[in-house]
Amino acid sequence: MVSPSTYFSFVVFFFCSSNFAFTTAAQTTSPFKKIYAFGDSFTDTGNTRSVSGPAGFGHVSSLPYGSTFFHHPTNRYSDGRLVIDFVTETLLLPYLPPYLGHKGNASHGVNFAVAGSTAINHAFFVKNNLTMDQTPQSIQTQLIWFNKFLASQGCNGSVSSSPECKAVFDDALIWVGEIGVNDYAYIIGSSVSSDRIRELAISSKTRFLQTLLKKGVKNVVVQGLPPSGCLPLAMSLAPEDDRDELGCVKSANNQTYTHNAVYQNAVQDLRNQFPDAAIAYLDYWNAYAMVMKNPKKYGFKEPFMACCGTGGPPYNFEVFLTCGTSDASTCSNPSQYINWDGVHLTEAMYRALSQMFLSGTFSHPPFSSLTDRKQHV
C-alpha cells in the first residue's frame, strides 16, 4: 500500500497539475460580451505554462494533451476542451486567453485560473510544512492578477463606478471554477484536519466572492467540488475497502460532498448580502455522480480507467508513468472514457458536464435565468 506521505505528494502534483444551446440561446448574439474565469487545472487554459507560472507541469505541453480537438497541446489539462471552453462557445465568445499570456487582448475576457491553485493562501501550507511548492498561487493570487488587469484597463479602487470600470464589468460573466481539492490533497498524512481545511477554504472563497461583488459584478457562476474519490489517482492509491455506492473512494467523496454542502450555504448568504447580483451554483458533485451511475447513457464505456497512462486495467494509472511521459500510451477512443490522465477529465466528459450545467438541472438557479436576466436588464 502506498504510504500517506506518498499519496499526499502525488495527489498534490497531479491534481495541480459541439456547440450546444441552452434553453434561451436561440439568439444570434450573446447576452454576455466577456468572461473572467478563476479556478484550478479544471479551468486553466494556459497559466501554468508561462515564464511566471508554477514549475513541474511540463507534461501538459506535450502530446497527447490537446490531441482530440486542437490537435496540438494548448496547456489545457485534457485531450481537448474544458467546461469553460464549452461555455464560451455557448455564449458565442472566443476561447479565453490565460492572464499570463494574454498580451493585452482581453476584449472578450481573461482566464485567471491556474493549475494547482488552492483556496487557502499558500503561506498557510508553508507554515505547516505541507507544500511541494509546485504552485504557490491561490485564489488570492488570482484576485491580485485580476486587480492588476483592472488597473491596466484604467479601473482602480475597491468600488468600480468609473466609466473605465463599467466598461470592464458591463456585460461580463464571472466564472469561478472548482477550487479547493488541492487544499485537501496537501494535508493527507498530516495532523491538519479536513474540518480545518474546509473552514479556511470556504472562508477564503467567500471573501474572494465578496470582493468581486463589492466591485459591482452582477452575474456570477460558482462551481462546487467534484467527487474526487472517483478519479483513477484516488482509486489506485486508496484501500479497496474504502468504496461508496458509486464504486469510488468513500472517504474522499464524503469530504468533497460535505465541503459543497457548507459552501452552498455560504453562497446563499452572499445572495442575501448582494440581492442585486445573480449567483448561480453549479453542482459539480451530483452532475459527475449522475454520469457515474449510468455512464452508458452518456456514451462512456470506461468510468474508472484513465485514457492516457500506464498499467492497464483497472485504472491505467501509475504515479511515476503518467500521461505525457514516454512510457504512457493513449486509448484510441477518448470519447468513451470519463477520465483523461488519472486526474483530469476527457473533453467528452467536460462536454457532458457543460450540458448538465448550462441546459440541465445542475445549476441553481438555472443558468438560463442568468442569461434571461441579463437580456432584460
Query: Which sequence positions are flagged as catalytic?
Result: 41, 341, 344
Distance CA 8, CA 3 (A): 9
- Strands annotated E in 109-168: 109-111
DSSP label at residue 280: E
Residue with grid cell 490531441, as numbered in its chain: 67
Relative to beta strand 219-223, strand 308-309 is unpaired
Exposure class string for 42-69: b at 16+ Cβ within 10 A, else e: bbbbbbbbeeebbeebebbbeebbbbbb
Peptide bond into 314 cis (omega under 30): yes
CA dist 283 to 114, 127, 260, 304, Å?
21, 32, 8, 21
| Strand order across the beta sheet in which 278-282 lies | 109-111, 34-38, 172-176, 219-223, 278-282, 363-364
Q: Are 209 and 272 in contact (CB under 8 A)?
A: no
d(CA 197, CA 202): 8
The three cell numbers of residue 376 are: 432584460
Sign of the C-alpha dihedral, residues 146, 201, 77, 226? Answer: negative
CA angle 95, 90, 354 (to 5 degrees): 95
Measure the CA–CA gap between 239 and 187, rounded to whole angstroms: 18
